[in-house]
Amino acid sequence: MGELAAVANAIVWALTGVVTKGVGKNVRPTHIVAAQVWIGLAFLLTVGFVVGEIDALINVEFRSAMFLAGGALINTAGSLVFWLALSRGTVSTVYPTTQSIFISISVLAGWLFLDDTPQVGVIGGAALIIGGVILLNLKPAVPADDSSDDEHEQAATGIRNASPKKYRGDFVGIGLGIATSFLWAGGFLSTVIGLEDTPPVAAATIRNLVPAILFVSVAIFFPAHRVTRVFKGNGRRLTLGAFMFAFSALTFVIALDNAPPSVVVVLVNTSPMWAVVFATIVLRERLGRYAIAGALLSMAGIFVTLAFR
C-alpha cells in the first residue's frame, strides 16, 4: 500500500502543476501556495472529522507534533529557496540538481539515522530515476539572442533550436538547488520521525497547518499577496489545485507510514516524468528525444524499485 501511495503522490503532484499552469499571469507563486495550504487544511480537517481522527490530532504527542511541524517549516523554507533558484537559474539545471541530490541525501540519511538500509532495487531505481530527471530537464544549447522564456520552453519540450549556440554556467541556480535539496531532506527526515506515533491524517493536517499560519501573516503584512486579489477568474484552477495538493500531502504520509523511507523518496521523485506525460496529453506540449528517454528511464526506475526490493 505504501508503494502505491508514493506513486499516487507523484502522479497527483504532477497533475497539480498542470492544473495550476493555466492560471492568469497576475497570479504569483505565493498566491498559489497560500490557496493550496488554506483550502488543503480545510479539506484535511474535514477528512479527519469523517474518519474520526480529530481526537488524534488534538491529542498528538508533543514530540511528534514538534517533528512534524519542524519538518513542515523546513519544507516551506526549501520551497522558497527552490522558487528563488528557478528565478535566478534555469529549469534545466535547478530541477535535476535538486531532485537528484534530494534522493541521494534522503536515502543516505534514512540509512544513517533511521536504520533503513537501502536494498539493491532502491539503489538501482534511484540511479535510473535520477538519470531520467536529468534527461527530462536537459536543455540543448540555445541561441545567444533567445530570451529566458525560450530557454524554459526548450527545457520542457527537449526541442533543439538550430540557430547559433551559446553556453553559460548556472552556478547560482545549482548552488540554490543544492541548498533546497538539503532543506527538503531535513524536512523529510523530520516527518518520518514525527510519523512514528501519529496517524496519517493527523500528520498531514499538522504539516499543512504550519505553512497555513505562515501565509496568514504574509497576507496581513503584504496585501499584494492576498489570494482574494487574484481569485476571480482563477478560482476554479486554484481550488482544484488545492484539493490535489491536499490529496498529495495525504498520500505522502500514508506512503511513509506503510513503506520504507528510501522506497518512498525514490518513488515520489518520479513526478517530473508524470508531469511530462500530463503536459503532452492535457497541454499538447511536444516531446523531444530527451523527454522520451527520461520518461522511459523513470518508468524503468519505478519497476526496478518495486520488483527488486
The answer to whether residues 204 and 44 touch, using CB atoms and an 8 Å cutoff, is: yes
* Per-residue pLDDT at 276 exceeds 90: no
Residues in CB range of 162: below 8 A, 6 or more apart: none
- Per residue in 66-86, pLDDT tens? 999 999 999 888 887 887 776
143/136 Cα distance (integer angstroms): 20
Check residue 92 and give its pLDDT.
Answer: 56
Check residue 43 and give its pLDDT.
Answer: 92
Check residue 70 and give its pLDDT.
Answer: 93
* Per-residue pLDDT at 169 exceeds 50: no
* Per-residue pLDDT at 262 exceeds 90: no
- Per residue in 82-93, pLDDT tens? 877 766 766 556
Q: Which residue has the cell 527488486?
A: 308
Give me the percent of the chain exceeding a pLDDT of 70: 83
Record the cell numbers describing residue 3, joined without a space: 508503494
* Per-residue pLDDT at 256 exceeds 70: yes
Check residue 87 and give its pLDDT.
Answer: 66
pTM of this structure:
0.74
Average pLDDT over residues 118-130: 81
162/158 Cα distance (integer angstroms): 13
| Band of pLDDT at residue 137, cut at 50, 70 and 90 | low
| Band of pLDDT at residue 150, cut at 50, 70 and 90 | very low
CB atoms near residue 80 (< 10 Å): 15
Domain count, the chain: 1
Check residue 170 and give its pLDDT.
Answer: 58
- Per residue in 19-67, pLDDT tens? 877 778 788 878 888 888 899 999 999 999 998 888 888 899 999 999 9
Average pLDDT over residues 113-135: 81
Record the cell numbers describing residue 281, joined without a space: 496529453
Give me the percent of the chain exceeding a pLDDT of 90: 18
Domain that holds residue 86: 2-307
